[in-house]
Structures are given as C-alpha cells and as structure tokens.
Amino acid sequence: MNTPILHALRFPLVAILAFSLVRCGENKAAVAAPAEMPIPVKMHSVVTLSKGRTLQYSGLIASNGEARLSFKVGGIISRVYVKEGDHAVAGQLLATLDLTEIDAQVTQAEQNLQKAQRDAGRLSNLYKDTVASLESLQNSHTQLSVATEVLRIARFNRQYAQIRAASGGTILQKLMNEGEYASPGAAVLVFNDTESSEWVVRFGVADKDWAVLHKGDAAKVYIDAYPDQPFLGKITKLAEGADPNGGTYAVEVTVSPNGHRLAPGLFCTLQLQPPGSKTFSFIPASALSEGDGTKGYVYTLTPDQRRVKKIPIRLAFFQDSLIAVSSGLDSVQQVVSDGVGYLTDGAAVKIISSTSN
C-alpha cells in the first residue's frame, strides 16, 4: 500500500484513541473525588468565671475517741462481759484475764517485801550495836526498796489484767473470746468514746491538693444516711509527710453533727474549698476529645465556620458535668460539645445547634 495513504489512515485512529484516554481520565477523577460530607455537630459557649477550686474526696465517719483496748500482760482470757453494740459506762469491767498466775505473783512480791523489811530492821539493830557494817545496812535498805517496787509492779500488772471503760461509749468490735490467749497489747475490744469525742473523716490527698490546703479550711460533708442535709466541717489535721505505702498525705476533717445521730462507718463525700480564687474557662465534659492528666484537646471552628481546628488545653479540675480549663481557651468563644468522637483536625462540619449556658 502507498505510504502516504497509511499515514492518512493512522492519524484519525491516534486522535480517537487520545481523546478516549482523556475522557476516561476525567471520568476516573470525577469518581475518585466525591464531595466531602460535613459532620453534624453541636456547639457550646465557653464560660469564664472567677472562683475557687473545689476538691472532692470520700471517706468514712469515725470517732477520734476510738480505742483498741487490750491487756498490759499476757494470759488466758477468763471473761468478756460485753458484746458488739453494747453501751458501757465509765469504770465498767469489760473483760478480764485468768488471775491465778497474776495473783500468785502479787502474793510472792508481798512476801519478799515483808522479808526485806525484817532484814532491814534486824541489820539496823546490829549496826547500832556495831555488829553489822554500814555496807550491810545499806544493802538491806536497797533490797527493801527493790522489793517495794517489785510489789508495785505486780499490783499494777494485776490492775491492767482487766479492761475497764475509761468513759461512756459503745463496743464497736469484739476481737477475742473467752479461752483465747491474749498477748500483751493485743487488741481485744474496739471501743468508741461517745461522751467527749468528736466525729471526724480521715482520708488521703494528692500532693498537688495538699499544697493548697491548710488547717482550719472549711469543708462540706455529705453523708449518705442524710442525703438532704449537708454537714459543716473543717480541717483539723494535715500531715507534714506522705504515707510511704500509698504516697498520699493524711487529712482529718472534724464534722459537726448538728443534732443528728452519727455512727462510725457512715459513708460520706467531702467538698474542700481552699482559700483564694482564680479565673477558669468552663466547658462541658463532652467537649473533651482526649485527656491525659492535666492535658487535653478540644475542637473549635475555623474562621469560615465550615471546618474544625483541634487545640490543646490544660485541665484544672472537674466540677459536676463541667471541666475547668486553666489555659488554652483565651481567644475561643465556642467548642464542639456533641459529635466530637467523629472529628479529626480540619474536618468539615455542619452546626445543628449552639448552646450558650
């Protein structure tokens, strides 16, 4: 075939093929880049307030007159005269050891004292007659003094081989029974002084909270047994060192019963209000995207209000369903409060509602 004719036939085919490829590329581009669907979100206004930080802890009501009663000496428990929940009056006998051995020790000490008194008297007469030496007389007086003290110790031990109530109160726990061997100082009864004691709540706080608390700071105490009655309290003890086991600092709050009947073990929640106030930005807790300790992130709108921007914030504390933010929201008026879980930085959004409080 003639070469010019072949060139003439090939040109239309090449042109058609190139045109087809261009059209195909355009169709693919149209399929690969669909329109971005905006994510529906709700906005919430940032509220700035100047207020003091509120610390919240929980604990159990206790009495500062609570005592673990024990015997000074070891022995077999002969009788326990009370049971848990019993009320005791001052001086009442609560428990006693078997006194057989202890009474024998008292008798032995009395007899040794009597012998020492006779020896001292005899040597005193002999010394007057120049028969006994001064050293012998002095030794007899020393033995007399030792025997006197031994008897005093024996009688003291016998006195505390019994447990008596030092004041009026209630038996909280009975830890040992008749026939058991009680070691010296081992708790037998847990006793709560209800006459002169105060009601307290003991708990531990973190170091950053300990740094802002002081003795005398006010506290509100909410006891589950009285849900509609807040009680007033104040910090009466604040540890100067951390507990080596838990790493927290011990705090004791004294609670005013205000005419209500309290008992050890009642569960309560405390709100502590350290002195001084600072300015915080408050946002709903649902606006927090990520949180790690005092760090977090929230989403706010870009200037065109069509997309969101992820910004870091520093958390101060939580109060009910709100978060107090110490920094990061200085120029921010609104944050995303609903739909946060579906967002990424720069995502397109559609505002469906906006709340100002």
Write down the residue that tokens 């706080």 correspond to: 205
Query: What per-residue confidence (pLDDT) applies to 24?
Result: 47
Delimit the domains of the chain by residue range: 39-51+277-355, 57-64+197-272, 100-160
Whether CATH 3.40.50.300 fits 100-160: no
Helix axes 100-128, 134-159, angle to 10 degrees: 160
Partners of residue 190 on adjacent β-strands: 68, 173
The pLDDT score that the predictor gives to residue 54 is 79
CA neighbor of 51 nearest in space, from 274, 259, 209? 274
The CATH classification of domain 39-51+277-355, taken from the options 2.40.420.20, 3.40.50.11540, 3.60.20.10, 2.40.30.10? 2.40.420.20
The pLDDT, as a whole number, for residue 35 is 65
DSSP string over 100-163: HHHHHHHHHHHHHHHHHHHHHHHHHHHHHTT-S-HHHHHHHHHHHHHHHHHHHHHHHHHHTTEE
Inter-residue contact 69 to 188 (CB < 8 Å): yes
**CA angle, 180 as apex, 179 and 186 as ends, to 5°?**
140
Contact between residue 354 and residue 340 where contact means Cβ atoms under 8 Å apart: no
Q: Are 43 and 334 in contact (CB under 8 A)?
A: yes
Q: What is the pLDDT of residue 235?
A: 94
CB–CB of 283/322 below 8 Å?
A: yes
Contact call for residues 268 and 222 (beta carbons, < 8 A): yes
| pLDDT attached to residue 196 | 64
Topology of domain 57-64+197-272 in CATH is: Elongation Factor Tu (Ef-tu); domain 3 (2.40.30)
- 3-state helix, strand, coil split of the chain in percent (to 5) is 25, 40, 35
Mean pLDDT by 10 residues, the chain (357 residues): 43 43 46 72 89 84 87 94 91 95 94 94 88 89 94 94 90 93 94 80 91 90 91 93 90 91 89 80 91 89 93 87 89 92 93 83
User: CATH topology of 39-51+277-355 equal to that of 100-160?
Assistant: no
Q: How many CB atoms lie within 10 A of CB 56?
A: 14
